[in-house]
Amino acid sequence: MHEPEGWNLGVELGTLANEQFRADNEYIGGAGPRTRSPGALIAWDPIARQPRWQVDYDFSINGGTLSTAGNLVFQGGADGVFRAFAADDGELLWQSDLGVGIMAAPMTYEMDGVQYVSVLVGWGGSSGLLGPNYDGEYKPQGRLWTFRLDGGEIIPVRGQALPELTAIPFDNSPDVIALGADKYAGNCVLCHGQGGVSGGAIADLRYASQATYDSFMSIVRDGAYAAIGMQAQGHVLSDAEIDAVKNYLLSLRAGLMAQ
């Protein structure tokens, strides 16, 4: 189906998000079990055609790797921890919590006889917005870190505290909530997160303030926040559909409050 001026990705986003398969790894209130999408760092021996060693993570979307002539492998994790392993046997030799999920690959360089290792931290992109947040931080700043052997202590980048939830009345009719869930899935999910659970970089709409909900139409339909990346959706959604999305989000908020 082609939607003029809408997202035409060739997948039915509605069915995806309606499954709400992120419910078990929400970061709100501490992490739940994180077993649905595990990851691993595998040192592959191409001659033997098998792994030499493997480090298992209970989270995925980890950073790229850097291997050095000095028998080290560096990798940042989606949990915000930057690790160094022995390249020959995978032993964990060093780690540092940088506070926010790491997706980039580290790099290394030498200057005046000193070796440096740099890595970019920051959580976002397609997987980081739609997918789970393993570092538990909300809206943290990205940063470039550079390490050297005799470097000092570092101060990790932390995110914001999520606001207190206050009750906001909403229309709980099943057909309104179902329409809202479907339109959210089709138009909002890739930025604001599956099942309303933000990946941390963009606003978690379940936690939006009363004032934001009062301005919902002007933000979502008319593009009041277009300058900060929230484009108008009035050309693809009717007022009734936008209202249904609002009620759907408020039902998720009520669900959170009831926990």
Judged by CB, which is closer to ligand HEC: 79, or 241? 241
**Which residues contact ligand HEC (rule: CB under 6 A)?**
187-188, 190-192, 202-203, 205, 208, 212, 216, 219-220, 225, 228-230, 233, 237, 245
- Tell me how far, at minimum, the Cβ of 129 lies from ligand HEC, in Å: 7
Query: How are beta strands 72-76 and 65-67 bridged, if at all?
Result: antiparallel
- Tell me how far, at minimum, the Cβ of 120 lies from ligand HEC, in Å: 20
Q: How far apart are CA 156 and CA 56, in angstroms?
A: 24
Q: How far apart are CA 16 and CA 3, in angstroms?
A: 18
Judged by CB, which is closer to ligand HEC: 116, or 225? 225
171 CB-contact burial (10 Å; exposed 0-12 / middle 13-18 / buried 19+): middle
- Tell me how far, at minimum, the Cβ of 245 lies from ligand HEC, in Å: 5
Judged by CB, which is closer to ligand HEC: 108, or 233? 233
- Tell me how far, at minimum, the Cβ of 191 lies from ligand HEC, in Å: 3
- Tell me how far, at minimum, the Cβ of 20 lies from ligand HEC, in Å: 16
Nearest to 145 by CA among 93, 199, 82: 82
| Contacts with 206 (C-beta within 8 Å, 6 or more apart), sequence order | 165, 196, 197, 249, 252, 253, 256
Judged by CB, which is closer to ligand HEC: 77, or 193? 193
Nearest to 115 by CA among 63, 64, 62, 72: 72
At which residue do the structure tokens 């970019």 appear? 120
Judged by CB, which is closer to ligand HEC: 145, or 216? 216
Q: Counting every residue, how long is the chain?
A: 259
Token pair belonging to 214: 């009062």
Judged by CB, which is closer to ligand HEC: 174, or 229? 229
- Tell me how far, at minimum, the Cβ of 242 lies from ligand HEC, in Å: 7
CA dihedral 60, 66, 70, 72 (to 10 degrees): -10
